Chains A and B, each alone.
Chain A
């Protein structure tokens, strides 16, 4: 499966690693719901570090679409909330 970390590019990860990523993603979602910026930052970095650790980066000129997309490492909680809103990220 291909995951995009925004601002960094795409990473391919094996199906066996999905479970642990899902658990980290659930923690991240919980942090966003509670509105705790500090916990959010820790959870986001945990998730991104895990993806980088278990995955393999795709070349820059590949044109695969990602199955999962993650916010950039320095995104604020408000920015992630905006990304999850109806408008999304891409204009139009």
Chain B
């Protein structure tokens, strides 16, 4: 059976089941109206939940951007005191944070789109519920069983369809938000601990990690050259095209990570 037909039948059978439970059409109207009001409450809560998640992601973006700026400043300072190895480390970490920020922006846009959709659905449902209430009172006032049943069927089918539609929209938003919440919680923990070490999210893919490192390293070299130029320590950086294939830089002396981090940190603050 076609998609259009089957979806319609689902709604119609649900509406009929609900109507069959009631003896008196006037009871059906009151029961239906109560359910609509409950759903409206649920929709409003759904919109509020999504808005909360969006604000949380915004806050995280701001926090990580602040960390990113701090690392850039530390890189500049390190270069100023002749510690190019520390500057390179700081800028590499900053690159990882930029990736996090880009991912969070995508999440933020998704949440915003979901929020707008739910807001529209909520307004539409509110208009339908208001309309239903007016019609319900009219039907009850002029009640005769045979006539009322027909009119109730029409009104009830219309509103139950809308309820199902909005109910699905909420469910979809909740599903999307749940996975984002889990990720947001993880980022919160990393921010709180001052860690955020595994930027790549690609553990186990050595080739990709190496490619990322080489690409990231190239950006770091450009940053280093740019900073050196600012500090009057070297020539202005060439563009990627002018430079040709990226030169593999000799690795700085391997020091324990904790030592490098110690020197980058200001007293009393995490990275």
Binding site for B on A (CB under 8 A): 3-4, 6-7, 9, 21-22, 25-26, 28-29, 32, 59-72, 79-80, 83-84, 88-92
B38 CB → nearest A CB, Å: 12
How far apart are the CA atoms of A89 and B3 in the complex, in Å?
14
Please, could you name 12 A-B residue pairs with CB atoms under 8 Å apart, sorted by A? A7-B121, A61-B130, A63-B128, A65-B157, A66-B161, A69-B4, A69-B161, A70-B3, A84-B10, A88-B10, A90-B160, A92-B18
* Residues of the B chain whose Cβ atoms lie less than 8 Å from the Cβ of A22: 2, 4
Mostly helix, strand, loop or mixed at chain B's interface? helix
Asked whether B33 is an interface residue with its Cβ less than 8 Å from the other chain, the reply is no
How far apart are the CA atoms of A70 and B13 in the complex, in Å?
16
Chain B residue, CB-CB nearest to A6:
B165
16 extra A-B contacts, CB within 8 A, seeds A70-B7, A90-B11 = A3-B4, A7-B121, A7-B165, A7-B169, A32-B3, A62-B128, A63-B154, A63-B159, A64-B154, A65-B154, A69-B10, A72-B172, A84-B7, A84-B10, A88-B10, A91-B167
A38 CB → nearest B CB, Å: 17
* Residues of the B chain whose Cβ atoms lie less than 8 Å from the Cβ of A83: 7, 10, 168
Q: Provided the pairs A63-B135, A68-B8 are in contact, do residues A89 and B128 lie with their beta carbons within 8 angstroms?
A: no
* Residues of the B chain whose Cβ atoms lie less than 8 Å from the Cβ of A21: 4
Instruction: Check if B157 sits within 8 Å of A89, measured CB to CB.
Output: no
Asked whether B163 is an interface residue with its Cβ less than 8 Å from the other chain, the reply is yes
How far apart are the CA atoms of A89 and B130 in the complex, in Å?
23
Binding site for A on B (CB under 8 A): 2-8, 10-15, 17-18, 117, 121, 123-124, 127-128, 130-132, 135, 154-155, 157-161, 163-165, 167-169, 172
* Residues of the B chain whose Cβ atoms lie less than 8 Å from the Cβ of A28: 3
How far apart are the CA atoms of A28 and B7 in the complex, in Å?
13
* Residues of the A chain whose Cβ atoms lie less than 8 Å from the Cβ of B160: 90
Among A32, A80, A90, A92, which residue has the most Cβ atoms of chain B within 10 A?
Answer: A90
* Residues of the A chain whose Cβ atoms lie less than 8 Å from the Cβ of B123: 60
Chain A residue, CB-CB nearest to B166:
A7
* Residues of the A chain whose Cβ atoms lie less than 8 Å from the Cβ of B7: 68-71, 83-84
Instruction: Check if B8 sits within 8 Å of A9, measured CB to CB.
Output: no
How far apart are the CA atoms of A6 and B3 in the complex, in Å?
13
Instruction: Check if A69 sits within 8 Å of B8, measured CB to CB.
Output: yes
A74 CB → nearest B CB, Å: 8
Q: Provided the pairs A28-B3, A61-B131 are in contact, do residues A6 and B168 lie with their beta carbons within 8 angstroms?
A: yes
Q: Provided the pairs A62-B131, A89-B167 are in contact, do residues A69 and B2 lie with their beta carbons within 8 angstroms?
A: no
* Residues of the B chain whose Cβ atoms lie less than 8 Å from the Cβ of A29: 2-3
B114 CB → nearest A CB, Å: 10
B116 CB → nearest A CB, Å: 11
Chain A residue, CB-CB nearest to B117:
A7
How far apart are the CA atoms of A61 and B89 in the complex, in Å?
60
How far apart are the CA atoms of A21 and B168 in the complex, in Å?
24
